Amino acid sequence: MDVRIIICGLGRVGQAFVGLLIQKDKDLKKRYDLNLKVVGAVDIGGAAVSSSGLPLEEVMAHLKKGGRVEEMSGFGKKGLTGKDVLSSVPADLLVETTPTNIKDGEPGMTHMRTALTLGRHVVTAAKGPLVIRYNELKELAKKSKVKMMISAATAAALPTLDVGLSCLAGTEVLTAEGILNGTTNYILTRMYEEGTPYKDALAEAQKMGVAEPDPSIDVEGRDTANKILLIANEVFQGGLSLGDIPVEGITRVTPEEIQKAKKEGKVIKLIGKAERKDGKVVASVAPMPLPANHPLASVRGTEKAISYLTDTMDRVTVSGGKSNPVGAAAAILKDIIRIYQN
């Protein structure tokens, strides 16, 4: 089966996805009967388009040399926007990997709205549009009878949604608890295991590239809030918005609190939690002291994990998954395979 793809965003995740298409091409055809062709690749200055499919190895070589897609000979179109390409190039699916923008969701919002309105599947790694307009986009997908898949936006390679939606089918999910941010878990692990002060652990994480130069979205709990919001809305059908979620990060966690918890046989972790309570779905983000036998207590370093409590399967926990562009790209590829397997 031929699948024509338009990619919007050729940063680290977008390029990792193109690399996977090259690497996995034969396997995708053999195992899944999928011939994935990129007919449009859009970035900030323009696009490269080809109705028969772009030569991906040439695209990657061009980008690695510092070139821009709009400069590619025979394919480049300067100034062409994502909306332009989606509106003019026949395609089956949008892969959205533009930078996350929590303020207004752009440009991903426009890309996703356009694709869904035109009856094209959407697979996205961008959290912004989903956090701001989840219900609207979900309704658009339903109206157009297409899929909107968001695995890469909810902890990248960690299969948070696959477990909650597929593996636990037929159960009632009562609670979801997750360590959904590798940066904060690394810092808390260092504070717990070595007694490292928060500021020193953060500086260490930044030096290693684990934390961004501006780590506020991570350490203030906002990244975890974005992810638990999407899990609550997908798995619990919560219909929540960010304003419904109280958020506390790790910036005020002291070594004394860490050591006190340690003496009590507990470990403090930043937990995103969603649950059914008094007939409603509620969610929160906060540092929590977990008992040693809790399945999330042993999740160390930059590892992430999700733990679901159900009525009939009891507790199911999954941890691991790459927290890098390749992991996010792999989640995108997985979602595409799922669309066409179903």
The residues, ordered by sequence, that sit 6+ positions from 287 with a Cβ below 8 Å of its Cβ are 188, 248, 249, 250, 253, 268, 269, 270, 271
**DSSP at 152:** G
Contact present, 302 and 210 (Cβ < 8 Å)? yes
Structure tokens belonging to residue 78: 């300067």
Using alpha carbons, select from 302, 132, 337 the residue that is nearest to residue 233: 132
Return the ∠ at Cα 36 (arms to 35 and 39), rounded to 5°. 125
Structure tokens belonging to residue 317: 């926990």
Of the residues 77, 138, 147, 227, only one is catalytic, namely 227
Give the number of C-alpha atoms closer than 13 A to the C-alpha of residue 226, restricted to the C-beta side: 27
Is 243 exposed, middle or buried, given 0-12, 13-18 or 19+ CB atoms closer than 10 A?
exposed
**DSSP at 41:** E
Is 84 exposed, middle or buried, given 0-12, 13-18 or 19+ CB atoms closer than 10 A?
middle
Main-chain dihedrals φ then ψ at residue 129, nearest 5 degrees:
-60, -35
Contact present, 17 and 103 (Cβ < 8 Å)? no
Contact present, 225 and 285 (Cβ < 8 Å)? yes
Would residue 103 show up in a list of annotated catalytic residues for this protein? no
Q: Which residues have a catalytic role annotated?
A: 227
